[in-house]
Chain A
Amino acid sequence: MANTVETAAALNKDEILRYSRHLIMPEVGMEGQTRLKQARVLCIGAGGLGSPLAMYLGAAGVGTIGIVDFDVVDFTNLQRQIIHGTADVGRKKLDSAADTLREINPYVNVRKFETKLTSANALELFREFDIIVDGTDNFPTRYLVNDACVLTGKPNVYGSIFRFEGQASVFATKEGPCYRCLYPEPPPPGLVPSCAEGGVLGILPGLVGVIQATETIKLILGSGDPLIGRLLLVDALAMRFRELKLRKNPDCPACGPNPTVRELIDYNQFCGIRGEEAVPAPVSSDMTVEEFKRRLNAGDDLFVLDVREPHEYQICNLGGYLIPLNDLPKRVHELDSSREIVVHCKMGGRSAKAADFLRQSGFSKVHNLAGGINAWAERVDPNVPKY
């Protein structure tokens, strides 16, 4: 067996030089480096976690790296998604990531999958790889990745981040627990904010993504103690790493002895999400930024209520009265219900909730500014920064 491995994936002279710091370590050596070259790793997402992860896997000599992504690079990505550069803004993340990987290591075979991972394509895709690395940003895809890993018998190298905290583990190995053993059910939509709403410290996906890369390399080499049955918690602000024990749940619907998940399901429905994204549909009381501008120019008496956080107000504002959404119930008495109120936030989500709350509290003349201050910056006043 070892002989066939060496002949099928023999390293040439350039590769031997490139990987010499690996080759002189007994834990890797020629055998380990050959295994890396033969390994096929699928990265779900070329964003915050996927960037450092794919770059280190490529540099380390993982022979085949697949990337699933359908997004385009934008300026707000560059604070943490280091696989993309300023010149890549507007390009497909897949193309930008593939170029960076080829620049780091031309011996890597990069396979690009420009698609959203779905129940229809996940199993087929996973079967072509040895290890799946989860760098997604939403609950439906996380459950999908987990279940598809369990069904195809591929390890799921998991990482997740929020603001300055991260989690990492290795799920769905034969002996270890899966993501559903830890979290049988997703949180209802809206209860846990996304990165776009909550923000994320730029270096945190670097920390967590490199932990995922480390675990991936260890699984390929078959050495060390992988994070199987352990959940690593990273608090970058306190710079504290903690570890929790994970057990294989005997009642797990995915990996238990009597599984109920025997095929992939509708994960948006499972996570309570209707339609593609949870963007509120415009309602009749919504006001467009153009209409808002026209009313202001006409000198109409409008009370502008800003329901963002104080640190967002510092980035840019429309001179509105600031009451963060969470404080609105206890500060609602500060508002005059006889006046016409225009509520805004960054993109229109929080202000829609605020407008609903105000209407329920007896305010009858409330408008939600559709698209928020970002729409204002885009379509009315280019001097207002977008963020």
Chain B
Amino acid sequence: MKILIPTPLRQYAGKLGVVEVTATTVGEALNSLTSAYPELRRHLYNEEGKLRAFVNVYLNDDDVRYLQNEQTTVKDGDTLSIIPSIAGGRG
């Protein structure tokens, strides 16, 4: 499956916009991503190992918080998107 990396986080993912992983759940997919790019981990997870509140993870067009969070099952062809908050606009 594909994981889409947003611009602000690409510097921690080898400058890639898309990373392919093999996984059966959302948690596995993110784990596989952060194993390949350890610097990403602190941007996605807090000290207790929970997904940070300002990072939203979408499976296709749905927020995983309204599915089964990291236990949500995934299949080939699914797209996982990481949607961090961005604030730019006025300056």
Contacts and interface: CB of A to CB of B under 8 A. Distances in A.
> A and B, one complex?
yes
A191 interface: yes
Contact of B88 (A44, A137, A238): A137
Contacts of B43: 191
A195 B86 CA distance: 10
Interface stretch (A178-186, A256-264, A286-294, A310-318): A178-186
B86 A244 contact: no
Bin chain A's interface residue count: 35 or more
B54 interface: yes
Given A186-B54, A233-B83, A244 B61 contact: yes
Given A183-B53, A243-B61, A138 B8 contact: no
Contacts of B84: 187, 192
Interface residues of B, number: 25
B83 A244 contact: yes
A45 B87 contact: no
Interface string B39-82: 00001000000001110101001110010000000000000010
A196 interface: yes
Contacts of B81: 242, 244
Nearest to B88: A195
Nearest to B11: A326
Contacts of B83: 167, 231, 233, 244
A220 B56 CA distance: 31
Interface stretch (A18-26, A46-54, A299-307, A369-377): A46-54
B63 to A, nearest CB: 7
A196 B8 CA distance: 13
Kindly name the residue among A44, A142, A244 whose own CB sees the greatest number of chain B CB atoms within 10 A. Answer: A244
Contacts of B86: 160-162, 165, 167, 192
Contacts of B88: 48, 137, 160-162, 194-195, 198, 200
Contacts of A195: 88-89, 91
B3 to A, nearest CB: 14
B53 A47 contact: no
Interface in B5-25: 6-8, 11, 17
A139 B54 CA distance: 11
Nearest to A208: B89
Contacts of B61: 242-245
Contacts of A163: 7-8
Interface in A206-243: 208, 231, 233, 238, 242-243
A198 B8 CA distance: 8
A142 B87 contact: yes
A193 interface: yes
Nearest to B89: A49
A246 interface: yes
A205 interface: yes
B35 to A, nearest CB: 18
B68 to A, nearest CB: 15
A164 interface: yes
A246 B83 CA distance: 12
B8 A162 contact: yes
Contacts of A159: 89
B7 A136 contact: no
A247 B56 CA distance: 12
Interface in A246-299: 246-247
A50 B86 CA distance: 17
A47 B90 contact: yes
B8 A205 contact: no
A139 B7 contact: no
Contact of A244 (B53, B63, B91): B63
A47 B54 contact: no
A349 interface: no
Contacts of B66: 247
Contact of A47 (B7, B58, B89): B89
16 contacts: A48-B90, A160-B89, A161-B88, A162-B8, A163-B8, A165-B6, A192-B86, A205-B89, A208-B89, A233-B83, A242-B61, A244-B63, A244-B81, A244-B83, A245-B62, A247-B66
8 A-B pairs closest in CB distance: A45-B90, A47-B90, A137-B90, A185-B53, A195-B88, A162-B86, A49-B89, A137-B91
